[in-house]
Amino acid sequence: MPDRDDELRRTVGEAGQVRQAFEELPLMMAAMDGPELRFVAANAAYRALAGSSAFIGEPLRGVFPEVGGQQVFEAVERVYATAEPYSMHEWRMQFGMDDSGQPKELFLDVHLVPRFTAEGEKRGVVGYITDVTALVTARLAAQTKAAEVERRYEQARDVIALLQRELLSPGLPVLPGVRVAASYLLADAETAAGGDWFDALPLSDGRVGLVVGDVVGHGVAASAVMGQLRAIAAERLHSGATIADALAAVDAVADRVPGARAATVCAAVLDPATGALSYCTAGHPPPLVVPVSGEPGYLPISGAGPLGTGSEFPLAKAVLEVGDVLLCYTDGIIERPGRTRVESTAELTRVAADGAAGRGFHTGEFSAVERVCTQTLELLVRATGHGDDITLLAVQRREPLPPLELTLPAEPETVGVLRAQLRAWLVELGVSPDDLFRVPHAVNELVTNAVDHAYPDGDPGPVSLSASVDTTGTLHASVSDRGTSAADGPDGVDDLRALPLHVERGRGLAMTRRLLDLLDLEQGGQGTTATISHRLSRPARLLTADDVRGVVAPASPGIRAEFLLILDESSGRGPRIRLSGPVDADNATKLRTALAGHTLGGPDQLVVNLSDVTLLASAGIAVLAAARTRAAAGMLQLYAAVGSEADQVLTLVGFDHTTEDPDRQPPNHQVNATTDAG
């Protein structure tokens, strides 16, 4: 009996040691049982990741609902269903919140293996997880430091990437009745060229032409063939040809150009007003429709064969409801390694639907079509890799944005109010960051001109702003008043460098002409109307495999403060101030006073940091020029970070400034800046 008691104690002690070792493992481990994958065990490291130990007995989907749409549940369920192990390397996840209230990002190595009973029956899944966030972050930092070493190689690859960008569509239209997005993922980062293409074309009758094509092969040769086919298809659709006629013209090229044979094309024409869709799948996979309500599904193929095979090009038809998303794509997204075509098409359906609905990653200001075109790539490609180029072109039908119509008294406060209203309207329209810079700056000058000069007798009459977008993606806007004075400055001024910087009048109109496509002035007894036109567009995303992980959402345009802050900044070199907010005619006096106090007789150079300026009007430029004139030579330095709004405006008018932070420059550093036109 004593021997049996000793044996029992040893067995219990060994079990306790195993349990303690399981608990102390730095590797995160958890076991789940049954079809619902209920947790039955988890060690301390895993419980620390989960932030709780109360989930034992609960199903996986119920414990971690915040990772829905990130393909985590699907991976575990796949292992249970197939009884085959599965590994995920450096899997990016958003889980929990950081101290600032933003989603916390982790990179995890995950190994999932099936569990079986003693009889060999399927039981559940065991997960082994390693947090590699620090390693991934360190590697990315090291890659950044190694950029100079790879500079020569990158220069050569950039030339090919530039060729690819030039051959692809230069931008996507911004239209009142649809929102469009596109992504292009290259198969090989070494060649940085491929044979896929896409186009979204506003047509003369208000409809939109959509084309996605795929040339066999990769590299510069395939890219060159792609450029020919794309140009012909776009030209024919633009000229009013039917889909069948446009594809017949492209097919004729495929008969003459060997590299074009067997290329596939999906061409469609959508009427945003009615939702009527006509399309042809010439050997190409069919479009996917993600409806605003109901289940997503693929449209039927039209029956046409690839180019150069003697096929006819019959059309198929469908109707999109308001809110529906149409996704056209190339077969690289459904011919990924380790997936059958059936599995891939099902995954694409599910992930695109999650993206359109906003499930999965928190992506800031991405629209539904932008989420479909970016989130889909990351979630699907990271799990399997890809062996072919992938192109995604997504279109969502929406209610047209009503025109903007505003009339207010021609008072100084009106400038900021109209500017803010216009900017909010443009954000809702979905314009690019570049157009969101250009249009408000130009309109600000026109409204300022009306406020300052339309009613010289001091009785402010009305100033009106109207803006709309036509079916070609062109913005039309006008600023009108009922005054009798002449417009600001000499008509026809175009070269800003021909105007001395201290001259404010005339510079506003010249800036407007530089910023937008067209400015027209009409003066008469009923007042002055300034009309502008500008073709709007949004860039598509041309990516390599290195870009797919962690696609960054654009910064939210947000609501900008309509007041100017002038703050002292610490500097080891002397006085330095930072401007934050708009520098327009309404607050130019505030800036003039602040600069006068710093530039009168001071022994040290004053640095003015303009990087946070949200609008730099001609009135602000005149104040800066006057301050530089008063200061001793070289004692006023303007700094605007490269690409900032102030940098763009100062470059436009030829105003001397630096884009390098003076506090980070070595002593006696010579700054390369634009030439002062004054």
Tell whether the torsion through CA atoms of 213, 215, 220 and 224 is positive or negative.
negative
Torsion of CA 337, 342, 343, 348, to 10 degrees: 90
The secondary element (H helix, E strand) that includes residue 404 is: strand 404-409
- Pairwise CA distance, residues 355 & 371, whole Å: 5
pLDDT of residue 98: 79
Q: Residue 650: CB partners within 8 Å, gap ≥ 6?
A: 610, 616, 621, 638, 640, 657, 674
What's the pLDDT at 148?
64
Pairing of strands 518-524, 527-535: antiparallel
Helix (H) or strand (E) holding 246: helix 243-256
For residues 331 and 282, is the Cβ–Cβ distance under 8 A?
no
Q: Which phi and psi (to 5°) does residue 597 adopt?
A: -70, -25
Which pLDDT value is given to residue 113? Answer: 95
Strand partners of residue 566: 579
Helix (H, G, I), strand (E, B) or coil at 678: coil
| DSSP 8-state class, residue 230 | H
**Cβ 582 vs Cβ 416: under 8 Å:** yes
CA separation for the pair 414, 462 (Å, rounded) = 10
Distance CA 398, CA 325 (A): 10
Distance CA 573, CA 68 (A): 52
DSSP class of residue 240? Answer: T
Backbone torsion region of residue 445, taken as left when φ is above 0, otherwise alpha when ψ lies between -120 and 50, otherwise beta: alpha
- Are 606 and 571 in contact by the 8 Å Cβ rule? The answer is no
CA quadruple 103, 104, 109, 115: dihedral positive or negative?
negative
Looking up tokens 């150069």, which residue turns up?
308
Which pair of structure tokens corresponds to residue 346? 């099902």
Pair of tokens at residue 203: 């047509």
Structure tokens at 102: 């933003």
Annotate 565-629 with three-state secondary structure: EEEECCCCCCCEEEEEEEECCCCHHHHHHHHHHHHCCCCCCEEEEEEEEEEECHHHHHHHHHHHH
* Under 8 Å between Cβ of 568 and 576: yes
Bridge partners, residue 667, by sequence: none
Dist CA 476 CA 487 (whole Å): 20
Q: DSSP string spanning 36-55?
A: TTEEEEE-HHHHHHHT-STT
Per-residue confidence (pLDDT) for residue 544, from 0 to 100: 64
Closest CA to 390 of 574, 657, 195: 195
Domains of the chain, start order: 12-139 (3.30.450.20), 158-397 (3.60.40.10), 404-538 (3.30.565.10), 560-664 (3.30.750.24)
The residue type at 591:
L
Do β-strands 178-185 and 541-543 pair in parallel, antiparallel, or remain unpaired? parallel
Average pLDDT of each block of 10 consecutive residues along the chain (678 residues)? 57 58 81 94 87 87 88 93 93 83 87 93 93 88 74 58 63 94 77 78 95 86 87 94 96 89 96 97 97 95 93 96 97 90 94 91 81 90 82 96 95 92 94 93 93 85 96 96 64 40 59 91 87 92 65 52 81 85 88 78 80 91 87 85 92 89 64 36
Q: Would you say 332 and 390 are in contact if contact means Cβ atoms under 8 Å apart?
A: yes
Sheet with strand 636-639: strands edge to edge: 565-568, 576-583, 606-616, 636-639
In terms of phi and psi (left: phi > 0; alpha: psi -120 to 50; beta: otherwise), the region of 420 is: alpha
Distances (CA, A) of 110 to 32, 128, 132, 483: 15, 6, 10, 70
The distance of Cα 529 from the centroid of its chain, to the nearest Å, equals: 35
